[in-house]
Structure 1
Amino acid sequence: MVEKRFTNKIVVVTGATQGIGLACAERLHEEGATVCAIQRGQSNLFDSFKFDLSKEQDCSKSIDVIVKKYGRIDVLVNNAGIMKESSLMDTSLEDWNQTISVNLTAPFLLSKFAMPFLIESEGCIVNIGSIEGIGANPNHAAYCSSKAGLHGLTRSIAVDHGKDGVRCNAVAPGWIDTELNEDFINSMPDSDHFRKNIGSIHPLNRTGKTEEVASLVSWLASSESSFVTGQVYTIDGGRMAKISLPNL
């Protein structure tokens, strides 16, 4: 039986229709939370709120609507994100701004607008960063920058609002089996070969599951991590710990 650590808690999760966001929403709901899912499209899962998080007005209104309905916010999980494939030279300013807007500015705005209510509930924020905020894959200048910025924002919020009883942490997933990564694999010239061998870059010799990320997020959002703040937890099957060797 799953422990009900979030009974009577109002939890906001962005981008909860698929991938890591959906897994987090399902896990938190299973543990008793009332989950409010914010995303661009409509969802029949949980209590869904349709907003465009690339717009400041929508970020503000989404928080206002949730607080008006439930009277409080206990946890904010900033998960929604996008990733575009292009080299630095080929990245347009439009693509750069869109990536930064969704991946970094939206978490900043949602955290800002939710902060008065999180202070009231002595709640917490969990940001979904990436190992690409620590290292870099090719052709991800905008994405890497946005995730590194999100890690920095995490530490800043923790420092500024620890005195208010609000904690803020981030998780940095590595290669997780999501729709986004599956689309990337399918774009490869030899997708079957890539899919078969991607696990080998990890000491655990496999890729990760969304449920494994959700498990870490639920712990960080719970009172069991009450003395943890300002941290970025890597969850990558040991990939960042492994020094690569040439194929001999």
Structure 2
Amino acid sequence: MADRLAGKIAIITGGGRGIGAGITQRFAAEGAKVAIVQRNAPTETMLNERVIYVKADLANSREIGSAVEAVVERFGGLDILVNNAGIMFEKTVDEMTEADWDQMMNINLKAPFLLTKAAMPHLRKRGGASIVNIGSIEGLASNPGHPAYSASKAGVHGFTAAVAVDHGHEGIRCNAIAPGWINSDLSEVYIDSMVDSARVRRELLAMHPVGRLGEPRDVGNLAVWLASDESAFVTGQISIMDGGRTKKLPLPTS
């Protein structure tokens, strides 16, 4: 077992599935104690003496504060906060209600603010603390039907920079990862729902210069580095992890 995060205590929101599970697994392998904070319990196989589950509805500010305090009480402190949990739906401005917009912002943008605010006193005590926010390449550009999602992720990117500027002098760094297409249960369902799913898979691969799609572990690897002391001079940065997708200019298909 490696130990780049030995002695570190981390909260990972939505750490029980998808990208979050990839981050949880990599953090635990690097020696961290991890609290998965989310609404639904993760699979029992993910939990052990180093990985615990703390239930919280991330749309509820009181539950967010209670969850952070519960982690600190259980593990004795907090060094790392990973704001990973998020939602996505496809609706244009015309299709979207005000309630739809508010739901997206509450989970994707307000919850990271509330978690950061609740965690800040504890991160300040430890020194050498790190906040890792999960943004998206859609904070830089957009897929069709994603005005609320793109706005929320662009907000995460801006929030990341501002926290880095305000709290760097306190030994607290803040960075974001902007993933592209990452394989998950949800992405598989999405592809399989297409009329010609085989063609969709081929076209997806062709969009990525590295010749494959991303895996949750890929994001976990970068999150480990950003959370560790190896990245001590890195803060306020948005690290794009998309297999080169956003650097490849599209050409007309024959």
TM-score if structure 1 supplies the norm length?
Answer: 0.96
Amino acid at match of 1:189: V
Q: Secondary structure at the match of 2:91?
A: coil
Identity percentage over the alignment?
46
Q: Please give the per-residue CA displacement for 1:4-63, whole angstroms capped at 9, x wherever unaligned.
A: 111221111010111110010000001111110001112233200111001111111111
Q: How does 1:133-148 map to 2 (within 5 A)?
A: 133-148=139-154
Q: Which runs of 5+ in 2 are unaligned?
A: none
1:242 aligns with 2:248: yes
Give the aligned length. 247
Q: Is 1:116 equivalent to 2:143 in the alignment?
A: no
Query: 1:207 and 1:240 mapped to 2: Cα distance?
Result: 13
Unmatched runs of 5 consecutive residues or more in structure 1 = none
TM-score, scaled relative to structure 2: 0.94
Aligned equivalents of 1:186 and 1:84: distance in 2?
17
Aligned to 1:8: 7
Instruction: Tell me the distance in 2 between the aligned counterparts of 1:195 and 1:55.
Output: 38
**2:200 counterpart residue number:** 194
Q: 4+ residue runs of structure 1 moved beyond 4 angstroms?
A: none
Shift of 1:64: 1.1
Counterpart check, 1:17 vs 2:16: yes
1:139-218 superposed matches below 5 A: 139-218=145-224
Q: 1:64 aligns with which of 59, 69, 72?
A: 69
Tell me what 2:88 maps to. 83
Q: Distance in 1 between matches of 2:186 and 2:99?
A: 21
The CA RMSD over aligned residues, in Å, is: 1.1
Taking the aligned partners of 2:248 and 2:114, their CA distance within structure 1 comes to 36
The separation in 2 between residues aligned to 1:193 and 1:91, in whole angstroms, is 30
Using the alignment, how far apart are the partners of 1:64 and 1:211 within structure 2?
28
Question: What pairs up with 1:29-68 in 2 under 5 angstroms?
Answer: 29-43=28-42, 44=44, 45=47, 46-68=51-73
**2:134–2:178 Cα contact (<8 Å) kept:** yes
Tell me what 1:224 maps to. Answer: 230
How far apart, CA to CA, are the structure 1 residues paired with 2:193 and 2:93? 20
